[in-house]
């Protein structure tokens, strides 16, 4: 083993032969997140410009758009060769961004255009990133995922740092239309990296290498197979519930964010600066944790810590917000929640899908990441609005604490289902190898 391989294995957990695939995954997520985060501050400001009290309508419109896009995505995945799925999705997204850029140049910052852009970017964010992770869970084994997913997720965090800086330095020079065109260009290297990874999908082993016939197969099946499989599988259903409660907690805090920021900053430019600054802090902290802690935490404590720690901390955060309206406290709670989601929950959530069939890695996963997530956004947006009207904003935080507590409970249930699947796979592998079969899982003991 060379000195470079020894260093990668010791400090990064990368085994020989894995480095090219890990680097491609890192760069794919980096370019996607740079694209998204260069546009996110504009979206956030547009959301406030449409009225803090109207956010639930934008969330509902986003859900309806996601509901319309989901079967179209399922149709595309069923009929496009496996290695070309990312090309099509990112190609269509890039063309749409260029169209938005032309519209902004022609019509300026029209309210109707701002609302369309808010909804489109919210849908694109989930679809593109879910698809990128689908490729990764298709390429890497479960054991590899525990070691290297956090390293590739660090690419997302680095992109989250680079994206806001693009807006800071270039927004006044090239305008919003220029930013949209630049974001479209960023999808090209993301597609190249995804193509490299798609060429490695197939057989078991380190960074699964496949022959040409495997790479050119179609997944097939119904465009609605993702939704059907989620409803029929207790494991996928438990992941869906986990995502619903995660999205609900995020929405509760998002509405609080809009209320706090609207009350603190009257100027739109100051609002955008605040959002960009908070994004930079979140991504910087996330990057450090992903590079130096997440992999070690996953190795030492497994998925249990990755999925359960943040829900419990969020319960405490909501309780504090229910007794205090300090802006600084809200910022701390918001930053901790977002850092925990990106550094711990997201890698852990993606690891769950390494044990499911290929079609579920693309269809069921995308259905959960898009329709289920945005549906939870829409419903929880109205629930948050109603709780604020009936209970007041601070008592509404108590409702958020209850949701976060339920989120922790769903994490425990999901971990139990995942452990049962692991035991079943281990038993099948041991039986095929002629080894002693492990004892069956005792009810209630899985996931401990």
Q: What domains, with CATH codes, occur in the chain?
A: 14-432 (1.20.1250.20)
Phi, psi of 202 (to 5 degrees): 160, -105
Token match 């070690």: residue?
Answer: 296
Q: Over 60: is that where the pLDDT of 274 sits?
A: yes
Provide the pLDDT for residue 4.
58
- Tell me if 45 sits within 8 A of 272, measured CB to CB: yes
Question: Vertex 417, ends 414 and 418: CA angle to 5°?
Answer: 85
The burial of 24, by beta-carbon neighbours within 10 Å (0-12 exposed, 13-18 middle, 19 or more buried), is given as buried
- Tell me if 210 sits within 8 A of 201, measured CB to CB: yes
Question: Vertex 228, ends 225 and 232: CA angle to 5°?
Answer: 135
Provide the pLDDT for residue 410.
97
Question: Vertex 283, ends 281 and 286: CA angle to 5°?
Answer: 105
Q: Over 90: is that where the pLDDT of 307 sits?
A: yes
Provide the pLDDT for residue 212.
44
Looking at mean pLDDT, say which of 34-38, 154-158, 180-184, 413-417 comes out highest.
413-417
Question: Which residue, among 385, 275, 261, 332, has the nearest Cα to 39 in the 3D structure?
Answer: 275
Provide the pLDDT for residue 394.
65
Half-sphere exposure of 131 (CA within 13 A, CB side): 29
- Tell me if 200 sits within 8 A of 207, measured CB to CB: yes
CA 12 centroid distance within chain:
23
Instruction: Give the mean model confidence (pLDDT) for residues 335-355.
Output: 92
Q: Which residues of 95-109 are buried (b: 16+ CB within 10 A; e: fewer)?
A: eebbebbebbeeeee
The burial of 328, by beta-carbon neighbours within 10 Å (0-12 exposed, 13-18 middle, 19 or more buried), is given as exposed
Who wins on pLDDT, 406 or 203?
406
Cα dihedral 294/331/66/91 (nearest 10): -60
Separation between Cα atoms, residue 293 and residue 206, nearest integer Å: 23
Instruction: Give the mean model confidence (pLDDT) for residues 133-155.
Output: 88
Three-class SS state of 218:
strand
pLDDT digit string, tens, across residues 2-55: 655 565 566 666 777 788 899 999 999 999 999 998 888 767 666 665 555 666
CA 13 centroid distance within chain:
23
Whether the model pTM is above 0.85: no
pLDDT digit string, tens, across residues 359-378: 899 999 999 999 998 888 88
Q: Over 50: is that where the pLDDT of 140 sits?
A: yes
Provide the pLDDT for residue 151.
86
Residues in the chain: 448
Separation between Cα atoms, residue 390 and residue 383, nearest integer Å: 10
- Tell me if 87 sits within 8 A of 192, measured CB to CB: no
Instruction: Give the mean model confidence (pLDDT) for residues 167-173.
Output: 78
Provide the pLDDT for residue 216.
57
- Tell me if 166 sits within 8 A of 34, measured CB to CB: yes
């Amino acid at each position: 083993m060379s000195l470079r391989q020894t260093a990668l294995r010791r400090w990064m957990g990368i085994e020989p032969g894995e480095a090219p695939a890990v680097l491609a995954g890192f760069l794919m997520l980096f370019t996607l997140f740079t694209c998204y985060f260069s546009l996110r501050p504009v979206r956030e400001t547009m959301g406030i410009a449409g009225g803090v009290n109207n956010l639930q309508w934008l969330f509902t419109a986003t859900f309806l758009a996601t509901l319309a896009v989901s079967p179209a995505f399922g149709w595309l995945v069923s009929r496009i060769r496996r290695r070309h799925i990312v090309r099509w999705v990112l190609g269509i997204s890039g063309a749409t961004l260029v169209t938005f850029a032309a519209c902004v140049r022609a019509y300026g910052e029209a309210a109707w255009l701002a609302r369309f852009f808010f909804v489109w970017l919210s849908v694109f964010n989930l679809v593109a990133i879910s698809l990128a992770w689908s490729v990764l869970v298709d390429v890497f084994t479960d054991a590899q995922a525990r070691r290297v997913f956090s390293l590739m997720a660090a690419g997302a965090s680095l992109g989250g740092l680079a994206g806001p800086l693009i807006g800071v330095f270039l927004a006044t020079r090239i305008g919003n239309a220029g930013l949209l065109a630049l974001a479209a260009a960023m999808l090209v290297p993301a597609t190249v990296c995804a193509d490299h990874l798609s060429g490695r999908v197939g057989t078991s082993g380190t960074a699964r290498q496949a022959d040409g016939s495997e790479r050119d197969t179609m997944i097939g099946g119904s465009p609605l197979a993702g939704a059907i499989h989620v409803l029929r599988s207790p494991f996928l259903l438990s992941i869906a519930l986990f995502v619903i409660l995660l999205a609900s907690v995020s929405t509760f805090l998002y509405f609080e964010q809009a209320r706090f920021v609207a009350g603190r900053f009257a100027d739109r430019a100051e609002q955008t600066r605040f959002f960009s600054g908070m994004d930079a802090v979140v991504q910087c902290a996330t990057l450090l944790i992903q590079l130096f802690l997440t992999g070690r935490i996953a190795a030492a404590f497994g998925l249990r810590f990755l999925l359960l720690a943040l829900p419990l901390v969020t319960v405490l955060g909501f309780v504090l917000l229910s007794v205090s309206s300090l802006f600084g406290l809200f910022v701390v709670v918001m930053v901790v929640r977002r850092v925990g989601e990106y550094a711990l929950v997201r890698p852990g959530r993606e690891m769950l899908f390494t044990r499911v069939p290929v079609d579920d890695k693309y269809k069921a996963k995308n259905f959960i990441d898009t329709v289920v997530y945005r549906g939870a956004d829409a419903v929880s947006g109205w629930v948050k609005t109603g709780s604020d009207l009936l209970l007041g904003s601070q008592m509404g935080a108590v409702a958020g604490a209850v949701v976060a507590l339920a989120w922790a409970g769903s994490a425990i249930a999901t971990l139990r289902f995942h452990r049962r699947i692991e035991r079943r796979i281990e038993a099948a592998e041991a039986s095929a190898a002629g080894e002693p079969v492990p004892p069956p899982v005792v009810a209630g003991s899985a996931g401990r």
